[in-house]
């Protein structure tokens, strides 16, 4: 098993090839959790994610013969770009196998670093099998995204920097997919000035590490915005490290992940992908565990699709009442639309969208159905606007 010295050696080895990202205090999260919350912004790495750390360390350790042969990796996202970038910096050939369903933007970003992208298979498992076959056929070095000591040590440099910057930290809350980042952080935490609890975080639909540690069969599946940690087969090396050094693996709901992405964007002006925001989601979902403590949380990935980010923000606004979709059953008479819009405006809300139906959904020929999407300042304001409208109309919130 790797130790603290391996993480420190990795930090020295990759110095200058990755960004030493800032650690900032989050006023909003500190207030919500009644704790002191510090965010490590590895979203500021060149490729937008922490994966550069492990890739840089692993590739720096290649022998001259291995560099000449080149590397191969399997990934549908951040690991692909990280390996491609650092292979480019070292002048090494890189082959990246990506599943056929990989979005075109990720393929393009990976290829932009000079990597040869191979689209193969319908699943990550099929892509991984093909990558290993290419390694055997062409003598390439397979760079695993998390089940590799050098990769784990590289990822642990994130925690090393965070502890150096904020020595009062008592707890770290780290997203878990395959487990490489959490394992590296748990090793780095051994060098803290005081005992430190390390919590891992998984999304409920992909709680593979929690199930492995509990000794129960792994059952995962389903769609999630946290696709970066949607892993079925966790790493054996990370599993062993987390068995010894992690306090607990927490799980969070899809809604908690969405809330975390929205909070970071709105309160912190930080763009985070679902997996990158999982640690923040754990603070929101399990605040009692962290009350009164100094908490370090890596925000470890920013590669979220613009449309997905917009959808998340709107979904969260709908849930907390800042966006409301209202349905009115109204008399079909002149001036009724102006009357309703005037009352909404007088209440201080903003109309976003209007849909007026006479023929298909109205209860009778002398009535109409009106759907209005409006924006309120906050939850309390939305409730107040609805209360005003209830006094004059038959209105339902949907």
Q: Which residues pair with 15 in a beta bridge?
A: 18
pLDDT confidence tier of residue 20, bands split at 50, 70 and 90: very high
pLDDT digits (tens, 9 = 90+) for 215-262: 999 999 888 999 889 988 999 999 999 999 999 999 999 999 999 999
Read off the pLDDT of residues 45-66 as tens digits, 9 standing for 90 and up.
999 999 999 999 999 999 999 9
| List of residues 6+ apart from 360 with CB closer than 8 A | none
The pTM score is 0.90
Confidence check: pLDDT of 363 > 90: no
Q: Reply yes or no on whether the pLDDT at 359 is more than 70.
A: no
pLDDT at 366: 64
The larger pLDDT score, comparing residue 307 to residue 299, is at 299
Q: Is the pLDDT of residue 364 over 60?
A: no
The pair of structure tokens assigned to 90 is: 């070292």
Q: What residue ranges define each of the domains in the chain, with the CATH number in brackets?
A: 4-50+148-315 (3.40.50.1100), 52-142 (3.40.50.1100), 321-397 (3.30.70.260)
Residue 82 has pLDDT above 70, yes or no: yes
């Amino acid at each position: 098993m790797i130790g603290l010295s391996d993480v420190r050696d990795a930090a020295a080895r990759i110095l200058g090839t990755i960004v030493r990202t800032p650690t900032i205090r989050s006023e909003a999260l500190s207030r919500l959790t009644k704790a002191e919350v510090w965010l490590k912004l590895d979203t500021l790495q060149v490729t937008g994610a922490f994966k550069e750390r492990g890739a840089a360390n692993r590739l720096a350790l290649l022998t001259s013969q291995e560099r000449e042969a080149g590397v191969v990796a399997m990934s549908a996202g951040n690991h692909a770009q990280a390996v491609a970038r650092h292979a480019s910096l070292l002048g090494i050939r890189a082959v990246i196998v990506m599943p056929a369903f990989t979005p075109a933007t990720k393929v393009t970003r990976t290829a932009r670093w000079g990597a040869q992208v191979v689209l193969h298979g319908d699943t990550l498992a099929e892509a991984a099998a093909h990558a290993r076959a290419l390694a055997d056929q062409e003598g390439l070095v397979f760079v695993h995204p998390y089940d590799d000591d050098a990769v784990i040590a590289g990822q642990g440099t994130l925690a090393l920097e965070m502890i150096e910057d904020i020595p009062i930290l008592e707890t770290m809350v780290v997203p878990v997919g395959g487990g490489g980042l959490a394992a590296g952080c748990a090793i780095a935490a051994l060098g803290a000035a005081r005992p430190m609890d390390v919590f891992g975080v998984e999304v409920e639909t992909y709680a593979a590490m929690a199930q492995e540690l509990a000794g129960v069969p792994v059952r995962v599946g389903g769609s999630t915005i946290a696709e970066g940690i949607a892993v079925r087969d966790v790493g054996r090396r990370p599993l062993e490290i987390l068995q010894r050094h992690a306090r607990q693996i927490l799980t969070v709901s899809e809604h908690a992940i969405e809330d975390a992405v929205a909070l970071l964007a709105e309160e912190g002006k930080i763009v985070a992908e679902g997996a990158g925001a999982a640690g923040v989601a754990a603070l929101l979902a399990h605040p009692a565990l962290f009350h009164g403590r100094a908490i370090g949380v890596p925000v470890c990935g920013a590669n979220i699709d613009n449309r997905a980010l917009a959808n998340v923000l709107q979904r969260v606004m709908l849930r907390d009442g800042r966006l409301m979709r209202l349905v009115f059953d109204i008399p079909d008479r002149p001036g009724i639309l102006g009357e309703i819009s005037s009352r909404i405006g007088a209440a201080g809300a903003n109309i976003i969208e209007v849909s007026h139906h006479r023929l298909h959904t109205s209860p009778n020929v002398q009535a109409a159905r009106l759907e209005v999407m409006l924006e309120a300042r906050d939850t309390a304001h939305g409730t107040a606007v609805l209360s005003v409208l209830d006094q004059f109309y038959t209105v339902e919130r949907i």
